[in-house]
Amino acid sequence: MTSENSVDRDPLYGWVMVISVFTLTALSFGTMGSISVFLKPLSNEFGWTRANTAFGYTVASLGSAFFGIIWGYVADKYGTRLFGFFATFFMVSCLFFLSKQNNILHFYALYFCFGAFGNAVVGSPLYANVGFWFKKNPGLAIGITAAGGAAGQGLIPLLSTYLIKAHGWQDAYMYLSYIYLMIMAPFSFLIKESPWRERARISIKDDFRDFPLSEKEVITWISCAVIFCCICMSVPIVHLIPLLTDASFSEDFAASVFLALMVFGIVGRIISGKLGDIIGALPTYILMSIGQTITVLGFPYIDFKVGLFIVAAAFGFTYSGVMSAILVCARMMVSAKLAGRAMALGSFFGWVGMGLGGYFGGLLFDIKGDYTWSFQFASLMGSVNLLILWQFHLRIKRQREVIS
């Protein structure tokens, strides 16, 4: 006889999924973040401008954005069982051929494919899968899973810095492809669809939702906010290491500051996920957005090492907290049947924002000759995000009053 507690308990395999998706997204986001490390070597060798080189991040983000919608639809309709294998093949192949490229169009094409067929595959569709393995504390589970992105964005750029210094940028890409193959392939076998998502996928009935706004309206509000939120966060992600090396700090120090940013990002994603379970997803999103918008302003004005580590830690904690909060919003406000598409649409606008922020950060540098305008622009975009979130909060409050 099955006890009531065992029925209510979340499946233990959910934590296997947390670890698996943590690892896959760590590698995926790590490659996206490591563009900042390859930016100056590629610019110096081929004579590309900062904006043109940073545009590689933009096309990868746009690939993630547009194809993320497709993968979200596929995930909702057919499940995500084979997503890990598919992403492994494309991510490894793109890194290998990046070591061979000598043309900026090839550079763009490979990063686009990495985003479209790698990053987009292991991102929002698998986050949606993980979130619906858990009925108790889904925010914590999503936060831990999303922490993989921060871990990868800290470790992979650091590893890339070492490989570039020891072997040059071409061999660095090649060695990364070998490392990715060895790590990703085993974890790909562990991807399974959430039983809750499986039932929702084959059911003709809609899931029960205890939320005052329609799913379409929820997705619209989140998408509008996310684009500005991600413009804000992408400027330091792409341009922090060049900012510091331009200021005569060593490459190792710049990489260590970026690593500190991402280490605190790991903590921020976990705490933000848990905070979403306690105070709600949207209040957490607003709180973390305030921190991100304020701290991003500090980077160009601080010229001593301790101060840079403090600002990096604060920005890393809050920007990463934003990432978890966005995912928890989708998990709490949208049904299991639509979760893949909802997170994919949010990711679409997020990656568009990331791409725009990376590009405009480089463009404003090319115009002014330093990064002051770039980081001020980032904070301005963060303020627009906050205005949208506040209006979203007021809309929910008014609708609850109408219903009650």
Secondary structure (DSSP) of 5-55: HHHHSPPTHHHHHHHHHHHHHHHHHHHHHHHHHHHHHHHHHH---HHHHHH
Q: How many CB atoms lie within 10 A of CB 304?
A: 8
Helix then strand then coil, in percent of the chain rounded to 5, is 85, 0, 15
Is the predicted pLDDT of residue 5 greater than 70, yes or no?
no
Average pLDDT of 232-240? 91
**DSSP summary character for residue 289:** H
Mapped onto helix, strand or coil, the DSSP state of residue 310 is: helix
Is the predicted pLDDT of residue 1 greater than 80, yes or no?
no
Among residues 282, 351, 260, the alpha carbon closest in space to that of 268 is found at 260
Mapped onto helix, strand or coil, the DSSP state of residue 79 is: coil
- The per-residue b/e assignment along 136-160, b for 16 or more CB within 10 angstroms, e otherwise, is eebbbbbbbbbbbbbbbbbbbbbbb
In this predicted model, what pLDDT tens digit does every residue of 62-110 receive, in sequence order?
898 889 889 988 888 888 889 999 999 999 999 999 999 989 999 999 9
Q: Is 207 exposed, middle or buried (0-12, 13-18, 19+ CB in 10 A)?
A: middle
- Residue 104 tokens, joined: 């900026």
| Residue 4 banded pLDDT, cuts 50, 70, 90 | very low
Average pLDDT of 259-284? 90
Q: How far is CA 191 from the centre of its chain?
A: 19
Q: Is 401 exposed, middle or buried (0-12, 13-18, 19+ CB in 10 A)?
A: exposed
Q: pLDDT value at position 3?
A: 42
- Residue 337 tokens, joined: 């049947």
Average pLDDT of 297-315? 94
Please state, for a pLDDT cut of 70, what percent of the chain lies above it. Answer: 95
| Residue 50 banded pLDDT, cuts 50, 70, 90 | confident
CA distance 307 to 290: 20
Secondary structure (DSSP) of 218-256: HHHHHHHHHHHHHHHHHHHHHHHHHHHHHTT--HHHHHH
Is the predicted pLDDT of residue 7 greater than 90, yes or no?
no
CA distance 321 to 88: 27
- Residue 73 tokens, joined: 């639809």
Ramachandran region, residue 170 (left: φ > 0; alpha: ψ -120 to 50; beta: rest): alpha
CA distance 374 to 35: 17
Yes or no: say if 331 and 142 are a contact pair by the CB < 8 Å rule: yes
Mapped onto helix, strand or coil, the DSSP state of residue 97 is: helix
| Residue 19 banded pLDDT, cuts 50, 70, 90 | very high
Among residues 302, 318, 323, 324, the alpha carbon closest in space to that of 257 is found at 302
Is the predicted pLDDT of residue 267 greater than 70, yes or no?
yes
| Residue 35 banded pLDDT, cuts 50, 70, 90 | confident
Question: Domains, the chain, ranges and CATH?
Answer: 11-201+210-403 (1.20.1250.20)
pTM value? Answer: 0.79
What separation, in Å, do the N-terminal and C-terminal C-alpha atoms of the chain show?
41
Is the predicted pLDDT of residue 327 greater than 90, yes or no?
no
The kind and range of the H/E element at 85 are helix 83-98
